[in-house]
Amino acid sequence: MVEEVVQVAEPAKRVFIAIGSNLGDREKNIIDAINLLIANGVDVKNISSIIETKPYGNVKQPDFLNCVVDGYTTLPPKILLATLKAIEKELGRTATTHWGPRVIDLDIIFYDELVIDEPNLKIPHPDMQNRFFVLEPLNELAPDFMHPVFNKTVRELLSELRSKK
């Protein structure tokens, strides 16, 4: 008698991905990145408004367009990161200076409530709490989402950042 093996699919995990672009047709770059996310295993449920922001860091460069995507994926975190890097490469991103200009930038902000601290993968994003260009669009989508390390909502993190300014 042969037993049938039934594989149970992992439930999809909620992910928030920040997207930024400050070279070329910035809006088209963002739309292309979203379409490639969808084509590569991210079920996009919501997209924040696209906002224009000054560059982060002290590198002279054009302003960015930024947004955040709220979606679900069954891709494990490391595979998701590899997918984001492949999308960046496909859209023409090349190595530049740290915090330098880029055609596209894709960052995992949250992956459910998961906490990962490895050399090449840090979730939640380790500097998100200091970035208006992440917190403002993220707050539009999920103000009550709880940061699993700080135990504060996105709304609270944004409020704290605004009070520092």
Active site residues: 93, 102, 105, 107
Cα→Cα distances 92→23, 32, 36, 102, Å: 10, 11, 13, 9
Cα→Cα distances 83→53, 77, 135, 160, Å: 25, 10, 23, 32
CA 45 to chain centre: 14
Taking the alpha carbons of 48, 34, 65, 163 in that order, is the dihedral positive or negative? positive
